[in-house]
């Protein structure tokens, strides 16, 4: 029997507004779901908005002795690192090829995930029964996604993401182009969260979301439940 296939989509945006600081995807938010899927026996494709080499947020590129286990495992894997260096463009992806789509976060996602391209990938994947996951700023990729009836995908669903309060705490209100929690609420999502920078993950059927980097492990646990229909 053919392996099931999952897609990870990474931001290609590298500048944190006008701050002069770099950004990109958060390494652990990519590596942890990657290995969760691989260890379940799935094939995993890593795509990015622009294609080619995907770039991590510089602050997640830490010394080897400080790397989270899944990040260390990823960086030690030649196959995984090759995937990261040769990502296909999201616009070239056929959602019909995948039974799971996951959106890792990183501040960059706030600039290039709220697009028709990402929204259509999620819309099409959802319509064919795929599990959809996202963490931290990754749920920005859900904003233009639609349910089968044309409603926003998040409407009426339990959901979370990086919160407005967390954005205020790290002084990025007015730097990022919008407030993700606010947008999800405006679309009718049943937003729930925990205190700033504490773990919180939500599963509503085939939709799995997590609040912040601290939620990545919990998100992967719920992703596994959704994929194995426990």
State the total domains in the chain. 1
Token output for 174:
């007015």
**Is residue 135 scored above 80 in pLDDT?**
yes
Host domain of residue 63: 5-228
What DSSP element (H or E) covers 103? strand 100-103
Q: Over the stretch 58-96, which tens digit does the pLDDT of each residue have?
A: 999 999 999 999 999 999 999 999 999 999 999 999 999
pLDDT tens column, 154-193: 999 999 999 999 999 999 999 999 999 999 999 999 999 9
Predicted pLDDT at 3: 81
Tell me the pLDDT band of 1, cut-offs 50, 70 and 90.
low
CATH of the domain at 142: 3.40.50.880
Tokens 């976060």, residue located: 105
Cα 82 to Cα 67: distance, rounded to the nearest angstrom: 19
């Amino acid at each position: 029997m053919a392996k099931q296939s999952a897609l990870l989509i990474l931001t290609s945006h590298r500048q944190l507004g006008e701050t002069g600081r770099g950004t990109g995807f958060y390494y652990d938010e990519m590596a942890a779901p990657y290995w969760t899927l691989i260890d379940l026996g799935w094939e995993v494709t890593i795509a990015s908005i622009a294609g080619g080499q995907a770039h991590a947020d510089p602050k997640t590129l830490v010394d080897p002795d400080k790397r989270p286990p899944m990040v260390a495992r990823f960086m030690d894997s030649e196959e995984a690192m090759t995937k990261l260096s040769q990502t296909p463009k999201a616009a070239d992806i056929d959602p019909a090829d995948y039974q799971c789509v996951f959106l890792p976060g990183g501040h960059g996602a706030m600039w290039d995930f709220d697009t028709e391209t990402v929204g259509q990938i999620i819309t099409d994947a959802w319509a064919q029964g795929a599990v959809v996951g996202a963490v931290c700023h990754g749920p920005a990729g859900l904003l233009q996604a639609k349910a089968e009836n044309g409603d926003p995908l998040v409407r009426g669903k339990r959901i979370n993401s990086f919160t407005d309060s967390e954005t205020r705490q790290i002084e990025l209100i007015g730097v990022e182009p919008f407030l993700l929690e606010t947008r999800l609420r405006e679309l009718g999502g049943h937003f729930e969260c925990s205190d700033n920078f504490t773990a919180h993950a939500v599963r509503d059927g085939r939709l799995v979301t997590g609040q912040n980097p601290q939620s990545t492990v919990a998100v992967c646990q719920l992703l596994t439940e959704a994929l194995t229909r426990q």
